[in-house]
C-alpha cells in the first residue's frame, strides 16, 4: 500500500491477516476490476475499525463477512440494485461503504431504502475514499 494510505489508516484497529484461502475465494468471486490498493489492504488485514479523521468512523468487514454480505440484498428487496455494488463495510450504523462495480468508484449509500438517488461517490480509488473520510472533501478532477 502507498505511504499515504498507511498514514490515513494509522488510527484504525486492524485485525490480523485473513487466511490465504479466504482471500483467494473472495478474489474469485469478484466480477469487476478492484483497486490494487484496496486489494493490498484486504490481503494485509482481516477487517479494521476506527476513526479516519475526526468525524468519520469506519468498520471494514472481515473477508468472510464480505463474502457473506455480497450481494447485500436479495433481488426482490431492492430490484437487484445492490448487485451493482461490492460492499466492504459501514460507518457502524446505517450507512454502507462499497465499490460501484461499473466504474470502480468508492461510494456510500444508506442500507435502509437503498437507491441510486441516495448513492454518494466518495472517491475514484481507495486513497481518495480514505482522504474523503479524513477531510470531508472530495478531490476535484483536474482536466
For the chain, give the mean pLDDT: 87
Choose the weakest-confidence range: 35-44, 84-93, 107-116: 107-116
pLDDT at 75: 58
pLDDT at 36: 95
* pLDDT digit string, tens, across residues 48-105: 999 998 889 999 999 999 999 887 666 555 566 678 889 999 999 999 999 999 999 9
pLDDT at 74: 60
* Torsion angle, alpha carbons of 31, 15, 50, 128, to 10: -40
pLDDT at 141: 41
Domain ranges of the chain: 3-135
Mean of the pLDDT values across residues 36-52? 95
User: pTM higher than 0.85, yes or no?
Assistant: yes
End-to-end CA distance of the chain: 26
Rg of the chain, C-alpha, whole Å: 14
Sign of CA dihedral 44, 23, 58, 84: positive
Cβ-based neighbours of 87, under 8 Å, separated by 6 or more: 61, 66, 69, 70, 72, 96, 97, 98
pLDDT at 143: 32
Contact assessment for residue 127 and residue 135, using Cβ atoms and an 8 Å cutoff? no
Secondary structure of residue 42 in the 3-state scheme: helix
Q: What is the DSSP string of 97-109?
A: EEEETTT--EEEE
Of all residues in the chain, the percent with pLDDT exceeding 70 is: 88
Choose the weakest-confidence range: 35-39, 101-105, 111-115: 111-115
Distance CA 88, CA 60 (A): 6
Residue 48: closest CA among 76, 106, 88: 88
Distance CA 57, CA 53 (A): 8
CATH code matching the domain that covers 3-135, chosen among 3.30.980.10, 3.40.190.80, 3.40.1580.10, 1.10.150.530: 3.40.1580.10
pLDDT at 142: 33
Amino acid at each position: 500500500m502507498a505511504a499515504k494510505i498507511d498514514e490515513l489508516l494509522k488510527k484504525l484497529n486492524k485485525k490480523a491477516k485473513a487466511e490465504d484461502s479466504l482471500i483467494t475465494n473472495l478474489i474469485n468471486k469478484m466480477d469487476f476490476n478492484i483497486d490494487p490498493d484496496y486489494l493490498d489492504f484486504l490481503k494485509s488485514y482481516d477487517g479494521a475499525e476506527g476513526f479516519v479523521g475526526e468525524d468519520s468512523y469506519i468498520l471494514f468487514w472481515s473477508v468472510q463477512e464480505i463474502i457473506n454480505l455480497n450481494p447485500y440484498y436479495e433481488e426482490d428487496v431492492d430490484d437487484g440494485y445492490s448487485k451493482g455494488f461490492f460492499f466492504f463495510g459501514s460507518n457502524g450504523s446505517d450507512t454502507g461503504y462499497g465499490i460501484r462495480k461499473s466504474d470502480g468508484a468508492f461510494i456510500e449509500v444508506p442500507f435502509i431504502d437503498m437507491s441510486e438517488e441516495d448513492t454518494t461517490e466518495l472517491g475514484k480509488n481507495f486513497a481518495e475514499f480514505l482522504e474523503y473520510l479524513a477531510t470531508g472533501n472530495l478531490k476535484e478532477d483536474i482536466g
